[in-house]
Amino acid sequence: MSEKYKFDTLSLHAGHVPDKETGSRAVPIYQTTSYVFNDTDEAAALYNMEVGGHLYTRISNPTISVLEQRLAALDGGVSCIACASGMAAMHLVISAICSSGDHIVASNKMYGANINLLQHTMPRFGIETDFVNPNNLDEIKKAIKKNTKLVFGEVIGNPGLDVMDIPSVAEICKENNVPLVIDATFNTPYLMKPIDYGANIIIHSLTKWLGGHGIAIGGAIINGGNFDWSNKKKFSTISGPHFALDGISFWEEFGPSALTSKIRAEGMYNFGPTLSPMNAFHILQGIETLPLRMKKHMENTNELIKFLSEHEAVSWVKHPSLDSHPDYGIAKKILPKGAGSVIVFGVKGGREAGKNFIESVQLSSHLANVGDAKTLLIHPGSTTHSHLNSEAMRSAGLTDDLIRLSVGLEDVDDIKKDFEIGLKSVLKSR
């Protein structure tokens, strides 16, 4: 992709220059619902998508646009839509491409809400999904049908930390003329840009590392502009006539940015999963320090992997940077700067020991989020999955003793001291 400035510079500047009227160096928060038209001609042009601009914040907003343009630049895309959450982003993509009777192929090792949407909600609207092992290329090939409209996966799976072989899956998608949609929340564009490896559409939960502060929910769709939507029969929603705007074909009129033009004109307009301008501002503040934070996240992660691997109270540690991880090879290839700052590990003593560990730590926060600047922990066996027995846990890819750790930016010695307290309680409970 083509950039004049490097990543760290784009993190600070892309999408914004000080405005001429006020000279404001920071991105202003345009906390407004609507925009005064200069004249009726301008209003008509905006409604008809003849030129760009803002008419109503449900559809676009100047503060949100700065965020969108920054994300598109960072991920090497052609355009971006920011929206209310990562889940909203996923729904917008599916609804832009798929209709009743269509089919999706998705990884079976994804974030639970992603699976729920595809397994339970979308079938009610006639869209079926086959779930596959994301690194079984034959399984993916076999699952693609004539009516398959997209393949969906995560770069780094949550919570199993499986790493998808994006280049190989992208090749399969290209051969079958199906777009590859990738949730890249765990890696952020700092660690890896899936578009560079052949993915076509990127989804982020901005709530996590991109925001980094745990104060704002948001999502984004980055359009790689690298998919050929010309098959009008297969991709009628993108290349066929639109129900409004003189029946235009988004593909013929907007080309590389056809997908996001469609989402702006239909998904944002008709569903309205709008990001608030204030949240866009907060997330922009986070992105300004993304390179610095991700570097520190990875330094701390590497230290903690070593610490946990050597600790007598820890039975196992899983992270794609460890050669014991089944996806170590692909992680090394596509995530050379690091395979994310989530570690999963088991404590000796099973479910009760895991509970003791969580209740003993003082610095780390026990909650259901990842990608905060602060260290976060969760023990599914005593929280999200506490209703499941051991066997049911295993079939969900979890174990009684599993703890998910989202490594924060504190001094790593303090995190180790905190864990030492928790792990001592594990040893005591045995």
Partner 1 sequence: MYLKFKNIETFISTGGKKLNSNQPTICFIHGAGQNHFSFVQQIRYFASRGFNAIAPDFPGHGFSKGKCNSSIEDDAIWLSELLQEIGINEFVIAGHSQGCLTAIEFNKLSLKSLKGIIFIAGSAKIPVNDFLIEKAKNEPEKAYKLMVTWGHGKHGSFSISEFPGHHHLGEGFKVMEMNHKSALINDLSSCNKYEKGLDELKNINLDCLAILAKFDLMTPLKFGKKMVEHINSCECHVLDCGHFLPTEKPKELNKIIYQYLKNLDI
Query: What residues make contact with partner 1 under the rule CB under 8 A?
Result: 1-5, 10, 13-17, 44-45, 48-54, 60-61, 64-65, 68-70, 72-73, 76-82, 225-226, 230, 245-249, 252-257, 260, 264
Residue 42 CB, nearest approach to partner 1 (Å): 8
DSSP state string for 136-197: -HHHHHHH--TTEEEEEEESB-TTT--B--HHHHHHHHHHTT--EEEE-TTTHHHH--GGGG
Residue 82 CB, nearest approach to partner 1 (Å): 8
DSSP state string for 10-21: HHHHTT----TT
| Residue nearer to partner 1 on the CB measure, 78 or 331 | 78
Provide φ and ψ at 274, rounded to 5°.
-80, 140
| Residue nearer to partner 1 on the CB measure, 163 or 268 | 268
| Residue nearer to partner 1 on the CB measure, 77 or 214 | 77
Query: Is the preceding peptide bond at 291 cis, omega within 30 degrees of 0?
Result: no
Distance CA 258, CA 251 (A): 5
| Residue nearer to partner 1 on the CB measure, 103 or 264 | 264
Residue 263 CB, nearest approach to partner 1 (Å): 9
Residue 236 CB, nearest approach to partner 1 (Å): 15
Distance CA 201, CA 195 (A): 7
| Residue nearer to partner 1 on the CB measure, 53 or 273 | 53
Structure tokens at 180: 């590859």
Residue 254 CB, nearest approach to partner 1 (Å): 6
- Mode of pairing for the β-strands spanning 201-205 and 402-406: unpaired
| Residue nearer to partner 1 on the CB measure, 44 or 278 | 44
Residue 116 CB, nearest approach to partner 1 (Å): 28
Instruction: Report the sign of the C-alpha dihedral through residues 369, 370, 372, 378, in that order.
Output: positive
Cβ neighbours for 116, distance < 8 A, ≥ 6 positions apart: none
Quote the DSSP letter at residue 410: S
Residue 1 CB, nearest approach to partner 1 (Å): 6
- Mode of pairing for the β-strands spanning 201-205 and 219-223: antiparallel
| Residue nearer to partner 1 on the CB measure, 11 or 425 | 11
Distance CA 16, CA 27 (A): 7
